[in-house]
Amino acid sequence: MTDLTIANPRVIMHLDMNSFFASVEQAANPELKGIPLAVAGNPKERRGILVTCSYEARAFGVYTTMNVGEAKRLCPNLTIVPPRHELYRQMSDSVFDILRSYTEWVEPVSIDEAYIDTTDIGGLTRAYDLAQEIQMRILAELDLPCSIGIAPNKFLAKTASDMKKPMGITILRKREVPKMLWPLPVIDMHGIGKRTEEKLHSAGIKTMGDLATAEKITLEALLGKNGLRLKQRANGMDTRPVDPESAEERKSIGSSTTLPVDLTELEDCVPIFERLAKKVAARLETKLLAGMTISIQIRYADWQNTTRSRTLQQAIYLEEDLTKVALQLFQQHWNHEPIRLLGITAANVIERSEMVKQLTFDNFEQQEKEYEMDQLMSSLTQRFGDGIIKKGCTKK
């Protein structure tokens, strides 16, 4: 791509498919259109978890991650269908094919969203018309609604795409940031979750405006380098390019090491995993990513390789979390033979701003299991009283 000057700023679009799984079901079966609809893992079970729901269902207060029973109480006429994974992937591929018919500068972010750099195919002058054309074409060819944000960088484009749903098109300029974004609470900012919100609140930083004007030394003490990045975002600055190859590059981030001597004791392996986790966490930090699946690699002295993995309900990126999962996998699968190589990989990685997005069909089953466990514990507590269940108790 040609170098862009100040006189020719970047024009980035962020496309977000509206209620994607539900919209695909409505496109596949027109009888589902215009009615409250949800996709759930076990639609016949009241404890099933909603993967997503249509806007008609949301009008009744139904939302993603709600269980089927509760959703039905709020909306007795709610129609619930099981997920069709392959169909969603096919429709996603068709959406990206349409985007790539305009430009090669398309970066898929997840199954239902992408960044598009349209600087060289009309720039800001044609941006709105181009977004409208893309939106109408996806609707006409695939019968799927989407929202599009237009801005000079990724962060503002993604923020803009959330402003009008469904079927919205929003232009967000950097000069509009103080008026449009600064009054908002920090939790509304992409890239900030509950834990980060708590840390910011502890320093009196409650709005995006507070974050934008906070002292760098304060933010670095609270959040490290990520605090400085968030300050830049709050000021409307983001230099990340649209990278068509990043989706492939970021499918997994890992680190491994060949050991100077074969290890045979668990206590000797623990610090190795801690160092590997630190390296993986640093690479995830650099790209502001988190991993849904954590894998370990064990190569034994006889050169036999073993790889074991665990897919989590929520993506992780912190060094201590990576270490914990890796060690759990290691203790479960190590056959106690001498080891010559160890490795940790974070796979199915996502942008951290996506960590609070709708459930994917890769993690809703785990969500269901955890919900069932919570319900069981609640039932036992109600029946026998507080303290009946204790974690980590040993038999005496």
Q: How far is CA 259 from CA 13, 263, 264, 269, 281, in A?
A: 46, 8, 12, 10, 21
Q: Give per-residue pLDDT as tens, 288-300.
A: 888 989 999 999 8
Higher pLDDT, 45 or 303: 303
Name the least confident of 12-21, 23-32, 48-57, 345-354: 345-354
**CA gap 345, 254 in Å, rounded:** 4
Sign of CA dihedral 16, 154, 314, 70: negative
8 A C-beta contact, residue 117 and residue 11: yes
Model confidence pLDDT, tens digit, residues 140-194: 999 999 999 999 999 999 999 999 999 999 999 999 999 999 999 999 998 888 8
- Strands 79-81, 252-263: pairing is unpaired
What does the mean pLDDT of the chain come to?
A: 86
Confidence of residue 371 (pLDDT cuts 50, 70, 90): very low
Q: Calculate the alpha carbon distances from 291 to 20, 92, 328 in Å.
A: 22, 21, 16
DSSP 219-268: HHHHHTHHHHHHHHHHTT---PPP-TTHHHHTTEEEEEEEEEEEE--HHH
Q: Does 4 have pLDDT greater than 60?
A: no
Q: Which pLDDT belongs to residue 142?
A: 96
Of all residues in the chain, the percent with pLDDT exceeding 70 is: 84
pLDDT band at residue 116 using 50, 70 and 90 as cut-offs: very high
Catalytic site positions: 113
Q: What is the dihedral of CA 353, 112, 313, 244, to 10 degrees?
A: -60
pLDDT band at 324 (very low <50, low <70, confident <90, very high): very high
Most confident of 1-10, 303-312, 316-325, 361-370: 316-325
* Residue tagged 């006889």 (tokens): 302
In order of start, what are the domains of the chain with their CATH numbers? 1-173 (3.30.70.270), 182-234 (1.10.150.20), 250-354 (3.30.1490.100)
10: three-class secondary structure by DSSP: coil
pTM of the model: 0.68
Q: Binding site: what residues are annotated?
A: 16, 112
Handedness of CA 177, 196, 350, 356 (dihedral sign): negative
pLDDT at 233 > cutoff 60 = yes
| Position 382 pLDDT exceeds 60 | no
In angstroms, the CA 98 to CA 252 distance is: 26
The answer to whether the beta carbons of residues 233 and 153 sit under 8 Å apart is no
pLDDT at 295: 93
Rounded to whole angstroms, how far apart are CA atoms 305 and 339? 10
Phi and psi at residue 375, in whole multiples of 5°? Answer: -65, -40
Amino acid at 92: S
In percent, how much of the chain has pLDDT > 90?
62
Rounded distance between C-alpha atoms, residue 284 and residue 349, angstroms: 9
Which residue ranges are tagged as binding site for Mg(2+)?
Answer: 16, 112
Q: Is the predicted pLDDT of residue 242 greater than 90, yes or no?
A: yes
131's enclosing H/E stretch is: helix 123-142
